[in-house]
Each structure stands twice: as C-alpha cells, then as structure tokens.
Amino acid sequence: MTLHTLKAMFDPATRVDHAIQAAHAFQPALNAMVSFIDPQDQLEALTHIDPSAPFYGIPVALKDLVNMKDTRTTGSSKILDNYISPYDATITRKLREAGAIIIGKASCDTFGMGGTNKTAATGPVHNPYDLSRMSGGSSGGSAALVAAGVVPMAIGTDTGDSIRKPAAFTGIVGLKPTYGRISRYGVIPYASSLDHVGCFTRNVTDAAATLKVLAGRDDKDMTSSTLPVEDYPALLKGDLKGKRIGILTNVIDSISNPTVRTQFEALVEQLSAQGALVTRVTLNDALMKALLPTYYIIANAEATANHANLDSLRFGVQVPGADNEETMRLSRTAGFGPLLRKRFVIGSYALFVENQERLFRKAQRVRRLVVEDLKAALSQLDVIIAPASGGVAPLLEGGPKTDELSGEYLIAENYMVMGNFSGYPSITIPMGFENGLPLGINLTAKAFDDANLLDIAYGIETLTGLKNLVAKVNA
C-alpha cells in the first residue's frame, strides 16, 4: 500500500488514530517509541494545507534526533531526557508543510552511535519479525515502526549504515540520499562529515516521494546542495535493460551464509535476463578491511567535538556537584552509557595534538583512497550492488560470538560505510527471506544520481515483488 492508496482509503483523523493505537499496542513488544506526540494541533492545521499534498494526513515518526518544537528530543539518551525542542528541524517543517502528522519520536542508539539499537536509554528495540532479534541500529525504532505497519514512513539518519542495515533486518526500504541532498539543520549530529538524513518506507515509490519532499537547499545548513530537486517519483520507470550493474565481489567472497549467496546470485541472473549489463567489480581489499577502523577514528573524533556542549550546565539532566566542574563530571557520568563513554575516549585520543597526524589525519587519507577507489569503479557503472548483510538480524542476546577481525565482519558487515565516506546515494531493499527473516540487497550510485539509483531499485523491486511487506508482530 503506497502513500497514495493510503490517502484514498481513510480520512486523516482515522489514519492517525489507527497509527497511534498500533504504536501503543506494539510498544510493549517492540519498544520502538521514546515519546508520543498529541496530533490534534497538527490535524487542525490541515485546514490550511492542500489535500493533494504528498503527505496530507499521513502519520509518520521521527528518529529521536530530530527536533520538533515543544516536543521531547532526547537522542535516546539519559542526559537529554528532559530536553524540550525550542524549534523545528528543517525536515520537520517540510513534512508538516506536506501535510504529515508526526505521531512521535522513535528510539535509536544514543545520539546515533551504534549499530544495534541496544544502547538507547529506553532499552533495546526488538525486531518485528522475531522479538528475540535486534532491528539494527542506529535507526532501529524507525525501522521497526515501518516494518510493523504502524506508519508508512519514518525518518532515520545514517552515519555508517544506520538506515540501510536496519532496513535489511526488517524487510523494508531504507534510503540514504546523496550528502547535502537533505538539510540536517535541527538534527542532533553524530559525525558531521558522515551524517545523512534519510527515510524508511515499505516500497521504493514512497521513498522517492519522501525524497522529493525533503530535498533542497537550506541556508541554515551550509552543507546542503544548491542543485535542483528532481521529480523522483515521476522518474521511476523500472526498466533494467542496459543498466550497468556492478557486483561487489569483495562482499560476496566474504559471506559464508549459503542462503544469502544463493539468493543473491539468483537475483543477479534475473537482472541479466532483464537486459541489465552485469559485471564483477573488485575494490582494493586492504582498503575494504580498513573501513571500520577508519570510520571509528573519524566518526568518534567528530562526535567528541560535536557533543562537547553536553555539560548539563545550560540544558539537560543535571546531577548537582560542589562546583561547575564536578556538576559536569557527575552529569556526564550519569548521562552517558558505557559505549558512549568509550567512543568519546577514542575520539578525544585521536584529537590529541600528538596523535592527530598519526591517527586522525591518517584516517582521513585512507578515507580519500577509499572514495577514489569507489569513484573509479562507478565511473563505468550505474550502481554497485551486494547483500546488505551477511545474514539475518542477530539475536539480542546469546548469539554466536562475532570474530571482529574476520573478513566477513570487516567487509560484509561494514562495507556500506563507503556511502558515508563518499557521500554517494545508497539504498537497501528486500532481497528475500531465510527461515522467515528478511534479507536485503544494497545499491550505491554516483553523487547526485539519486533518481537513477531509485529507478534501478524500483526495477529490482518489481522483479522480486518484495514490496509493502508488513511483519506480523507477536505482541
């Protein structure tokens, strides 16, 4: 069911009421919401909006990093548990102007730092397909709400793969557009050179419609692009004939799961049968294995700088001390979880003057080499594709121990960070299932080739028929 068909079926108040009821009903099982927003003022404001607006009366959710005036925006942290937004993020304003009704803030890893959604102050988010498994992170709450059918679209952010990996684990579409395509003004940052705003939907058409609404220059975000916004939904044709598709062999060769490999290769054969020009592409393997440590250094260094203002002296939850220094120390100790403290330590260490050349600047140079390698590969292609993960969503507790030095972990589970290093547009869509659990495929294109990326994804979605999937939640 697309946004268009949903608008035709119910009046706005009924749509919103159904979404809020479902969100409350599933909350004990999914733990996907941090806070709910009374929709009454927004529904009344629809009288000033054209009913043909793309999101007219459509319920949506924001990741709990996105400011909305007079609502809680905690970043799923303890330290901002009492923070009330004094203004709207640009994307919040655009959604409201398009008629969207924002029903609440979705859980995420604290400040977007994590890939499990287990670090949220409100506890882990559960996968709608199997409540013993994670939904992925950091945008796991948004993904779970869309996958469970609560809302047709939810906002996420993506700094490493924080939209695209949860989309794979929950059987939905996760779009990270080109860096600068969507304004980040009013979105709590993680790492400014890597952060992207994107969305979750249950089909590619809705992802295209969402991008059209959110994209565009914003003078409040100087990194936003001045390039014109295309009519992404109108450009969806789905014809794969002649499309140049590269298979990223580094990822395929790193995956041990035979189901993932078999389903992916079967899809590749279908692409060829549709007339797509399929080739195998191999990137520098040493650089691929360096993606994760490079990411850790750059992202955590930038996060340390971005969150230096979280001292609880001006805003946030305060633990009183004898003086300002003790108050700040006590408040940060109570307000930051162990993973956050670890990341800030790594970031601070990389930014020490004596370490900047040895760590931070070296990581920046490796990032540039990665981007140049990816750019060269894409110069002859429309997209590069690979499985979005080596398997289904991991168990929240008690799963097999991960070898974090293996090629499977370093490459197959972390290669999508290339889209953040480069800023290139990237999308994950459903590929199939293993024992009833979703598997995803990821596509990456050249900078500002978002329309072509969406069109190819639409073609693959048409080929597989895997769209508008809704998980049956055992609430």
- Type of residue found at 230: E
Integer Cα distance of 303 and 310 in angstroms: 11
pLDDT digits (tens, 9 = 90+) for 229-264: 999 999 999 999 999 999 999 999 999 999 999 999
Confidence at residue 7, expressed as pLDDT on a 0 to 100 scale? 80
DSSP state of 160: S
Strands 130-134 vs 126-127: parallel, antiparallel or unpaired: antiparallel
Confidence at residue 10, expressed as pLDDT on a 0 to 100 scale? 83
Confidence at residue 58, expressed as pLDDT on a 0 to 100 scale? 97
Strands 173-176 vs 33-36: parallel, antiparallel or unpaired: unpaired
As averages over each run of 10 residues, the pLDDT of the chain (475 residues) reads 80 96 98 98 97 97 98 98 98 98 98 96 98 98 98 98 98 98 98 98 98 98 98 98 98 97 98 98 98 97 95 94 96 93 94 94 98 98 98 94 88 98 99 98 98 98 98 90
SS3 call for 2: coil
Confidence at residue 407, expressed as pLDDT on a 0 to 100 scale? 85
Q: Which H or E element spans position 146?
A: helix 140-147
> Is the distance from CB of 192 to CB of 300 less than 8 angstroms?
no
State pTM to two decimals.
0.97
| Residue given tokens 């008690």 in the structure block | 398
Longest dimension (CA), the chain: 72
Confidence at residue 404, expressed as pLDDT on a 0 to 100 scale? 85
Confidence at residue 38, expressed as pLDDT on a 0 to 100 scale? 98
Confidence at residue 425, expressed as pLDDT on a 0 to 100 scale? 99
SS3 call for 246: strand
Q: Which H or E element spans position 445?
A: strand 437-445
Confidence at residue 403, expressed as pLDDT on a 0 to 100 scale? 83
Q: What's the CATH number for 3-238+425-464?
A: 3.90.1300.10
Active site residues: 63, 138, 162
